[in-house]
Chain A
């Protein structure tokens, strides 16, 4: 299921040259018009309204909101947590993908399905699922509510599939000959992995990591029940936006939202670059 969501070269993007395409017919002109109107009404105009609201007070107000001590603490916590989760995912995600592709054991297919669960679950349910084991009344005596570790755990949960699902197909298609050659020339398994396998996995790991980072930065649902939303302690960017909205401070909410939007756009561009580089290499 997640395969469809994390494939790095966004499949909707067409890279082939538009050769042999039709010119617009009258009917398709109307279709294109309707589609563009709907897309603008649903996506483009509202996003423009966010940028507009953030810019309404001028650069000073925008900058003032973001550098306000409490907001800045929330932003810093969000970036730190997301960065930490991304590093863990890059390592563990690659290991998980490796085991799922190269190892054979009873129950492996179940694990393969388990990877998809964090994506399939609604985010609020993901939060509740974690709280049932690691919340108040935890049967193992761990309570993560209102702690930074809790936020970290929730982010690890929701971003689990990204690296695994981008690395897995690359690992599957890796040519066995090079590994064989390396081994026959006396390279140890570690050397083979480091010098032969890892380099070809790097674009996939990078793509999965940036998707995971973007998701972690903007995560909301799974944190609502877990993060206690204490200023300076456990308040993250998305919950800060909610607090701004509830406090009727639309400009403040828009300022933080624009920052998150920039991260989203940056990620899309980065992924496009990675996928094009991979495509060029063949």
Chain B
């Protein structure tokens, strides 16, 4: 084995060329732009715009910015909650029960990840908008409006992040098998007891991992939300839509401040996820 190590560890000029190339590529593509966004957040290039941390906080306290972040959190909270309950349920059904169409269902579940966010928005509009949707008229007659309201935003967000929880839980359920659950139920435990005492503890980390991933995705969703939301100030303007609106309105400092918050949130998600991975192993 020592010999192998030597063969693999032998460093020729190619090694250094590749290393240099990769570092340069990633720096130019990711690291430098990220650095630039950070510096622009605290030192705007725009004339007359104040720099520094207190100016940054001030921009975030603007009522329309607070509204946008409040709406984003509400939408993300409900979308993640729905996806978690649905995800745990459907994962149990797919891995534990036998029913016709089980395999098709498990393939279809993956579909939302590959659908373009704009298409997701369009799909919801074509199904539920009051004017042109298939079910718009029927929903209107019972007083339900989906498109242009917060429930519509929640649906769009839930759609795009639907498979994340399932993708984490299903493989774990598959791997732990059903022996312990069988034993529990043969000893007289009810279905709920078995789930709470046997199944849930073993998928705990997978659930948390899936929740973090869905949360990160939900907070940053843009395309689908953009289509179903009126997207105006104090009217369905989420954090991501606010960034677009402000940037195109030449209010760059606010756009950068809001974007920086979302950058922090995603870096935080990355850190939490890597900590969970460590905890698991």
On A, residues with C-beta under 8 Å from B are 1, 4-5, 10-14, 16, 18, 20-25, 27-28, 31-32, 34-36, 38-39, 42-50, 52-53, 92, 95-96, 98-100, 102-105, 107, 111, 113-118, 120-125, 128-130, 132-134, 137, 139, 153, 156-157, 160, 176-177, 179-180, 183, 189, 214, 217-221, 224-225, 238, 241-242, 245, 250, 253-254, 257, 260-261, 264-265, 267-268, 272
Q: Is B207 an interface residue when CB atoms closer than 8 A count as contact?
A: no
Chain A hits for B107, CB < 8 A = 10, 13, 268, 272
Chain A hits for B189, CB < 8 A = none
Chain A hits for B118, CB < 8 A = 218, 220, 238, 241-242, 257
Question: Given A160-B29, A250-B132, A253-B122: A128 and B97 within 8 A (CB)?
Answer: no
Chain B hits for A4, CB < 8 A = 164, 167-168, 209, 213
Chain B hits for A272, CB < 8 A = 107
Contact A254 B126, beta carbon cutoff 8 Å: yes
On B, residues with C-beta under 8 Å from A are 1, 3-4, 7-10, 12, 14-15, 18-19, 21-23, 25-26, 29-34, 36-37, 40, 45, 86, 89-99, 102-103, 105-128, 132-135, 155, 158-159, 162-164, 166-168, 170-171, 174, 178, 191, 209, 213, 216, 219-223, 226-227, 240, 243-244, 247-248, 255-256, 259, 262-263, 266-267, 269-270, 273-274
Chain B hits for A120, CB < 8 A = 216, 266-267, 269-270
Contact A254 B122, beta carbon cutoff 8 Å: yes
Question: Given A50-B123, A122-B221, A133-B32: A180 and B7 within 8 A (CB)?
Answer: yes
Contact A45 B106, beta carbon cutoff 8 Å: no
Which residue from chain A places its CB closest to the CB of B267 in the assembled complex? A120
Cβ-defined partner of A20 (8 Å) among B123, B178, B270, B273 = B178
Chain B hits for A189, CB < 8 A = 10, 12, 14
Contact A1 B270, beta carbon cutoff 8 Å: yes
Chain B hits for A98, CB < 8 A = 18
Contact A21 B216, beta carbon cutoff 8 Å: no
Contact B263 A125, beta carbon cutoff 8 Å: yes
Chain A hits for B89, CB < 8 A = 31, 34-35
Contact B220 A22, beta carbon cutoff 8 Å: no
Contact B32 A117, beta carbon cutoff 8 Å: no
Contact B30 A241, beta carbon cutoff 8 Å: no
